Structure 1
Amino acid sequence: MSNAMTLRTSNQPWYKERWPWLLMAGPAVVIVAGVVTTWLAVVSNDGLVTDDYYKQGLAVNQTLKRDHQASSLGLHGDVMRSGLNLRLLLRAEGDAGLPSTISLKLAHPTRAGQDQLIELTSDGQGLYTGKLSTDVTGRWLVSIEDPAGQWRLQGDWLADSEEPLRLTARANK
């Protein structure tokens, strides 16, 4: 019978065939990806979430008060960087006294573990110097304030830029 269909059979075991392995590859890749994603979620630091958000919300009025105080004093400053060394030139309108030390906070927008708090000391005539603990690259949120916490200046800084960062009071925002 020439019209009869013949079934071709192989005497090989299933694990020597390629189709079962090809069909199992997709679910195996998904399982490995799920394990890697779970590991990354557990190990990585989520700097966007804060555990004291309510307390931070209550402090908004105090923060705005510091910005208004900096604006009323006419404060503005320029931050310059050379390697790990930082220099701040701070100017005030009128006879506002400048403190002997200033706190400069570098906050990474998404990685709180990389934030730095640098104490800048006065060299006289509104010039302050300090040193970074580690090298920084990319975008940073910069905030300087006096030791008493009466005023604050802020700005967004591209650490790789050659231009100095101009810090101004954000009292109108």
Structure 2
Amino acid sequence: MKSRRATDSGPWYREPWPWLIMLGPAVVIVAGVATAYLAVISNDGLVADDYYKQGLAINQRSERHLRAAELGLEAELILGGDRDRIRVLLRAKEGTPLPATLSLRITHPTRPGFDQSVSMRSEGGGVYGAKLLPIHGRWHLVLEDEQQEWLLAGDWESDKQPALRLIPSARVLPADEKISVDKER
């Protein structure tokens, strides 16, 4: 006569332990597939296609900052209307002619779809104005002449600062902060 074991409970797939052991690798496989899917469909917005050219342009920008310093350029930017108009007051050393138009590039640090390029016409007396799409939050601004001989650049938190002052050293000052003026100017 055959003796039956007391631990024999049936086929393996009716036991919980094999399923618990297989659960870990199954979760890892599902997570890996989900991660791969997200990596393929998402946009790497901060990676520039022309990163090498941008790196080479750094020296040229430095030269243009130095040129702006030689000309004694300073700019004050003010938003108006419903944040859809901008005015620039451009000052230079005495005897330096001011350009008829300026180019203003407004770029968002992480969302390139909101970037704008605005051509600003002179209204006389160093004042330039233009319409733009309303801006809110943090922005990087580059102000330059039409021949691209000089530039002024800086960051602006438009919700916190009603105006922005740009100086050639690329250091940004709030509009209410005084700029020390050299005796040579």
Normalised to the residue count of structure 1, the TM-score between the two structures is: 0.75
Alignment RMSD: 3.2
Structure 1 outlier segments of 4+, above 2 Å:
26-47
Aligned: 1:160 with 2:163: no
Tell me which of the two structures has the higher relative contact order, counting C-alpha pairs closer than 8 angstroms and 6 or more residues apart: 1
Count, aligned residues: 164
- In the superposition, relative to structure 1, how do residues 42 and 73 fare at CA in structure 2: closer, same or farther (>3 Å)? same
CA-to-partner distance for each residue in 1:115-157, whole Å, 9 max, x for gaps?
1111111101110111113x22211111100010000001110
CA-to-partner distance for each residue in 1:69-128, whole Å, 9 max, x for gaps?
000101011111122011111111121111111010111112222211111111011101
Aligned: 1:76 with 2:46: no
- In the superposition, relative to structure 1, how do residues 72 and 41 fare at CA in structure 2: closer, same or farther (>3 Å)? same
Unaligned runs of 5+ in 1: 1-13, 15-19
Partner of 2:10: none
Unaligned runs of 5+ in 2: 1-13, 172-185
Identity of aligned residues (%): 49
In 2, the alpha carbon distance for the partners of 1:113 and 1:27 equals: 40
Aligned: 1:54 with 2:52: yes
- In the superposition, relative to structure 1, how do residues 62 and 37 fare at CA in structure 2: closer, same or farther (>3 Å)? same
Normalised to the residue count of structure 2, the TM-score between the two structures is: 0.70
Instruction: Look up the SS of the partner of 1:156 in the other structure.
Output: strand
- In the superposition, relative to structure 1, how do residues 93 and 140 fare at CA in structure 2: closer, same or farther (>3 Å)? same
**8 Å Cα contact 2:153-2:170 kept in structure 1:** no
Moved more, 120-129 or 56-65: 56-65
